[in-house]
Amino acid sequence: MGTGKTEVGKELSRLLDMKLIDVDTEIEKSRKLTINDIFKKFGEPRFREIETEMIKNLSEKKNIIISTGGGAVLKQENMNALRKNGVIVCLTASPETILKRTSRNNDRPLLQVENPLKKIKELLNFRKPFYEKADIIINTNDKTPLQIAEEIIDEIGNRE
């Protein structure tokens, strides 16, 4: 969260002329509930089940860009599904940058705590080994979405 997935996804979509699909948005549409409401009503484990179901469905499509939440990597089956037809790109940022980018947004259920910076550091530390499984890792600190999108395209080109 707060690494620029949405804005970078929009730039990639424009540059590659591919449709951008956000997993969380698709979940909200299909369940007619916000992610916050799903967390409150059913808890994080149920949300993760719904997320996996959505990722599996979307991963069957071709020529799309799939944007997931940062917790999607916690399940290997999500990584396998995403890798089936695509390249997994992990966008990173410093905890301070993430806090700055997310501080104006109350739709982050995992950051609804007394000390969000501490929570961000804990999440990043816990998720680091999962994030490292991505095919491409790009730090987004001090870069524009366009610069990041171009870097992703270059990296993908270098892999082929």
pLDDT digits (tens, 9 = 90+) for 131-150: 999 999 999 999 999 999 99
Burial label, 56 (beta-carbon count in 10 A; 0-12, 13-18, 19+): middle
- Using the predicted structure, report yes or no on whether residue 91 has a pLDDT greater than 70: yes
Q: How confident is the model at residue 2 (pLDDT cuts 50, 70, 90)?
A: confident
State the average pLDDT over residues 2-14.
93
Could you tell me which residues come within 8 angstroms of residue 64 by beta carbon, excluding any fewer than 6 positions away?
Answer: 18, 19, 20, 21, 58
Q: Which of 84, 81, 97, 96 is nearest to 23 (CA)?
A: 81
Give me the residue spans of the domains in the chain: 5-153
Integer angstrom CA distances of residue 17 from 10, 42, 65, 119: 10, 37, 10, 36
- Looking at residue 99, what is its pLDDT? 87
Residue 33: count other Cβ atoms within 10 Å of its Cβ: 16
Name every residue whose Cβ is closer than 8 Å to that of residue 142 and which is 6 or more positions away in sequence.
Answer: none
**Segment 52-69, tens digit of pLDDT:** 999 999 999 999 999 998
Does residue 106 have a pLDDT over 80?
Answer: no
Q: What percent of the chain has pLDDT over 90?
A: 74
Of 4-8, 13-17, 18-22, 113-117, which gets the smallest average pLDDT? 113-117
User: What global pTM score does this model have?
Assistant: 0.86
Q: Tell me which CATH homologous superfamily contains domain 5-153.
A: P-loop containing nucleotide triphosphate hydrolases (3.40.50.300)
Phi-psi region of 93 (alpha: psi -120 to 50; beta: other; left: phi over 0): beta
pLDDT at 154 over 80: yes
